[in-house]
């Protein structure tokens, strides 16, 4: 899932300066699970903004709304009437949700309430860890389901660096060495021999370095209708 955290209240207050009616919109998927943009978080943020505005003597109306997913047009269509009544939308969605709302409602300013961090998973209550960077060329079949791109601080592909000590990362000793875990996994699965093969340099052309990425499934696309030439 996409993991995010709320921006500081002071930053949001500065962002909203000059706006009198704001619609705070939450998202019912990833950011709800990581307790950053669900219904409760929307209500808490709206209350905090109202209180801060009252204390500072600056008029600010904050309304609340929720959609199941901010990243798809059909889910945000229902906000149209509410958006018309406000001069700004504060998105408690990930960066994709913010951009979707901005594209869908170009007549109003859409602002981010969250900082989008990474794709990850909960490892214990209140803790989420990064697991994927979306590099577009997955090697998890070779590394026992442990990603060296997101979990090795140096993104190494042929074993640990010389700084790894006692299974801990040289960059941050609180982080387990990804390659130590990859080796342990291979040992348990009886696949150590595969790790002895030298991996060539990774093809990063599928990663973010190549610019904005796009996935097209021709089997799912709606055929374009022929233009009437008459």
Average pLDDT estimate for 173-184: 95
Residue ranges per structural domain of the chain: 2-117, 134-200
Locate 108 and state its tokens: 């109003």
Locate 6 and state its tokens: 């709320």
Quote the pLDDT of residue 206. 87
Residue 33: pLDDT over 60: yes
Q: How confident is the model at residue 224 (pLDDT cuts 50, 70, 90)?
A: confident
For residues 219 and 34, what is the distance between their CA atoms, to the nearest angstrom? 34
Query: Scanning the structure block, which residue is given the tokens 């093809």?
Result: 203
Which range among 3-12, 19-28, 193-202, 216-225 shows the weakest confidence by mean pLDDT? Answer: 216-225
Quote the pLDDT of residue 178. 97
* CATH T-level topology, domain 2-117: Rossmann fold (3.40.50)
Quote the pLDDT of residue 228. 65
Strand ranges, E, within the chain: 2-6, 21-27, 61-67, 88-92, 109-112, 114-124, 127-132
Quote the pLDDT of residue 47. 97
Residue 205: pLDDT over 90: no
Quote the pLDDT of residue 192. 94
Average pLDDT estimate for 153-170: 94
Residue 133: pLDDT over 70: yes
| 74-111 burial code (b ≥16 CB/10 A, e <16) | ebbeebeeebeebbbbbbbbbebbbbbbbebbeebbbb
Quote the pLDDT of residue 3. 96
Q: How confident is the model at residue 227 (pLDDT cuts 50, 70, 90)?
A: low
Quote the pLDDT of residue 45. 98
């Amino acid at each position: 899932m996409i993991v995010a955290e709320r921006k500081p209240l002071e930053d949001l207050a500065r962002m909203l300066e000059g706006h009198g009616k704001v619609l705070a919109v939450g998202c019912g998927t990833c950011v709800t699970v990581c307790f950053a943009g669900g219904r409760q978080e929307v209500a808490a943020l709206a209350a905090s903004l109202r209180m801060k505005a009252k204390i500072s003597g600056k008029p600010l109306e904050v309304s609340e709304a929720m959609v199941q997913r901010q990243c798809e047009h059909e889910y945000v269509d229902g906000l149209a009437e509410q958006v018309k009544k406000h001069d700004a939308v504060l998105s408690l969605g990930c960066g994709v949700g913010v951009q979707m709302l901005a594209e869908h409602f170009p007549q109003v300013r859409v602002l981010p309430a969250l900082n989008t961090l990474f794709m990850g998973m909960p490892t214990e209550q209140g803790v989420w860890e990064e697991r994927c960077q979306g590099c577009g060329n997955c090697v998890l079949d070779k590394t026992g389901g442990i990603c060296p791109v997101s979990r090795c601080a140096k993104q190494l592909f042929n074993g640990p660096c010389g700084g790894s000590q006692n299974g801990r990362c040289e960059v941050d000793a609180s982080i387990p060495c990804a390659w130590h875990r990859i080796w342990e996994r291979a040992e348990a699965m009886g696949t150590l021999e595969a790790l002895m093969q030298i991996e060539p340099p990774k093809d990063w052309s599928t990663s973010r370095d190549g610019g904005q990425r796009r996935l097209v499934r021709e089997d799912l696309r709606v055929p374009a209708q022929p233009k009437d030439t008459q």
